[in-house]
Structure formats: C-alpha cells, structure tokens
Amino acid sequence: MEEAKIKAILENKITLLAKLAGQMEKQAKAVDQNDPSSLTQILDEKEAVIDSLVSDDQELEKGVALLDEKIRVVIANKLKDLGAQIESEIEKIIGMENDCEKKLLNEKFELLEKMRSTRNGRTLLKGYGVSARIKPKISGSI
C-alpha cells in the first residue's frame, strides 16, 4: 500500500469522525428533549458511520501489515498531523458519548425513584382501605 492511499484513508476517517461528532450533537439534543423516535433514527445513522469507520480501519490495517517496517516508520512520521487530528476528534466524541451516558443514567434513576414513590404511595393507601361502592337505592340506570 502506498503513502497516498494511506493518506486518503486517514483523511476519509477524519471526515467520518466529523460526521459522527455531528450526530453525537444531535443525539445529545434528542436526549435533552426526550425524543425517542429521533434518537432511534440518529443511533441508526451513527451505527452506519461507525461501520464505515471499521471497514476503513480494516483496510488500513491490511495494507499497513504488508509494508516493511522502515517504510511504516517513514509514512507514520509524514502523516503524524493526520494522526493527531484523528486522536483529537476521537477524544471529543468520547467526551460527548460520556455526557450522553450520564444524562441517560440520571433519567433512569429519576424514573426508578418515581416508580418507588408510586409503589410506596400505593402501599400507604392500602392501609386506609378502599371504600365500598355505594349502590344506588333506585333501580334503573344511574
């Protein structure tokens, strides 16, 4: 695999990571707005981008494995800037993903707390008993 091909794959990876970051922003908005339908669509789109990233990584890995060690070092030194750019994009995406996870966990705990309070409230009401249904004294439709 030649240097130009590796550079093209890395540039494509940067483009895909930027697209993934944009989808992460949409995901964060959907989580904030509590919109499950758009969240599902965003996650499907995000999965497609991740699949593309994985296939690019596999192609790059196969190509680099065929190169001599000296050539790998030379190419790695020439493409250091692209590597740093990819690393910063990945760190940004990881941070956004962690924020979304925290928000979802908070919502989960709030929901569990509401369920517990509802269950406790129902138990307390049972102590008072349920009043018997008052039957109408007049027969007919009342």
Query: Residue 32's pLDDT is what?
Result: 85
Give the rounded percent of residues in the chain with a pLDDT score beyond 70: 83
Count of all residues that appear for the chain in the document:
142
Query: Residue 56's pLDDT is what?
Result: 92
The pLDDT tens digits of the residues spanning 64-123 come to 888 888 988 898 899 999 999 999 999 999 999 999 889 888 888 888 888 777 777 666
DSSP states along 36-85 = HHHHHHHHHHHHHHHHHHHHHHHHHHHHHHTS-HHHHHHHHHHTHHHHHH
Spell out the domain ranges in the chain.
Answer: 3-121
3-state class (DSSP) for residue 131 = coil
Query: Residue 111's pLDDT is what?
Result: 83
pLDDT at 127 over 70: no
Q: Which amino acid is at 95?
A: G
* pTM, rounded to two decimals: 0.72
3-state class (DSSP) for residue 28 = helix
- Assess if CATH 2.60.200 describes domain 3-121: no
Say if CB 24 and CB 98 are below 8 A apart.
no
